[in-house]
Amino acid sequence: MTVQFYKYQGTGNDFVIMDNRNADIHLSTAQINHLCDRRFGIGADGLMLLNTLSGYDFEMKYYNADGNESSMCGNGGRCLTRFAYDMGIHKNTYRFLASDGEHEAEIDDKKWIRLKMKDVDHITHYNGDTVLDTGSPHYVKTVQDIMNLDVYNEGKTIRNSKDFAAKGINVNFVEQEPKHIIVRTYERGVEDETFSCGTGVTAAALVFAHNEKGFNRVDIQTKGGKLAVEFDKINDQQFSNIWLCGPADFVFKGEITL
């Protein structure tokens, strides 16, 4: 079977995308894992299918690099919105369904993709750190000298600790600067550091809100580039109107035989 694929990236978080609106693409876990392999396949942090779904502009189906279907991917949602636009689906506001429910997305005048994330209504404090779900589960840890941190080993240790090993968790290390935060993330399913993680920077931004209540905008630096998260803080446990904002770019397209 020969399939056409497209490669997109959002601040270095890269994805293989396929247009499955005809519902004719059926991939096994092993095939997805192969496609995402950086030495023997195309290479990506994950794979997405653009599906048709009644009542929505499209459906987002997301798979981790290990080949398993996964929870929400924020940068993936932004890249899939850009892909939908490039495939001729032109809207002022997109409505699509992902694993964690309905999302909205917009393309602003700077060509950044603004993706509305799910509301957050619960944050857990854990050993001095923070755990919350922004569509995917995240662990947020404050650190110093973040660029010299061993994110792979530190993240792997937390991800595989007894409280999180069964379901897995994404681990975000955050350093606070005067006007922004720096975030590095170890992602489950990839089982390595990625250059950026959309749901991860969203989680970090909520934890590092600068206004006690009301509107917040947090600027974020990742290894792959700059993002921003805008949201309304209701209280220390509740956040609404959350938007993940950043670039999403086409890289290349091709065909591969499976």
pLDDT tens-digit map of 9-33: 999 999 999 999 999 999 999 999 9
- What is the predicted pLDDT for the residue at 177? 97
Please enumerate in sequence order all residues whose Cβ is within 8 A of that of 213, keeping only pairs 6 or more positions apart, or say none. Answer: 233, 234, 235
Whether 245 is catalytic: no
pTM: 0.95
Summarised one tens digit per residue, pLDDT across range 239-253 is 999 999 999 999 999
Summarised one tens digit per residue, pLDDT across range 192-209 is 999 999 999 999 999 999
What is the full DSSP assignment across 124-153? EEETTEEEEESSSEEEEEE-SSGGGS-HHH
CA–CA distance, 35 with 42 (Å, rounded to integer): 5
Q: Which of 36, 79, 197, 245 is catalytic?
A: 197
- What is the predicted pLDDT for the residue at 109? 80
Summarised one tens digit per residue, pLDDT across range 57-79 is 999 999 999 999 999 999 999 99
Summarised one tens digit per residue, pLDDT across range 90-140 is 999 999 999 999 999 999 888 899 999 999 999 999 999 999 999 999 999
Q: Which of 36, 73, 79, 245 is catalytic?
A: 73
Whether 197 is catalytic: yes
DSSP state for residue 200 in the 8-state scheme? H
Helix locations, the chain, DSSP H: 29-36, 74-86, 151-159, 198-207
Please enumerate in sequence order all residues whose Cβ is within 8 A of that of 89, keeping only pairs 6 or more positions apart, or say none. Answer: 57, 58
Give the three-state DSSP class for 85: helix
What is the full DSSP assignment across 71-82? S--HHHHHHHHH
Question: Do residues 141 and 186 lie in contact, with contact meaning Cβ atoms separated by under 8 Å?
Answer: no
